[in-house]
Each structure stands twice: as structure tokens, then as C-alpha cells.
Amino acid sequence: MALSAQISSWMTKDYLEEKAQQGSWEKFQQALAKVSDGEPEEYDKM
């Protein structure tokens, strides 16, 4: 069981690293700039 959890962990790490290589910090910043700075709705607050 522990071995399968470790292998899954490695696979997830590899997957995330691969996806990160495909990403663009500039595109992320552009998308983030579109997000409102306003307060969240009452039902969205933590």
C-alpha cells in the first residue's frame, strides 16, 4: 500500500512539473488581472 502511494506521489509530481513547463507566467498574470479586487459575496467568504 505504501509503495503504491509513493509511486502515485512521484507520478503526480512529474505530471505537475510537466504541466508547469507548458504554462506561461505572462498569461497567468493577464488572467489574474481580469479578476475583480472587490469583496467576495457573503456566501463565498470563509
pLDDT at residue 10 in the model: 86
- Cα distance between residue 39 and residue 46, in whole Å: 12
**Can you tell me the distance from the alpha carbon of 6 to that of 23, in angstroms, rounded to the nearest whole number?**
26
- Name the stretches of the chain with pLDDT < 50: none
The whole model's pTM is what?
0.44
Q: What share of the chain is helix, strand, coil (3-state, %, to 5)?
A: 70, 0, 30
Cα gap 41→46, rounded to integer Å? 10
> For 35, which DSSP code?
S
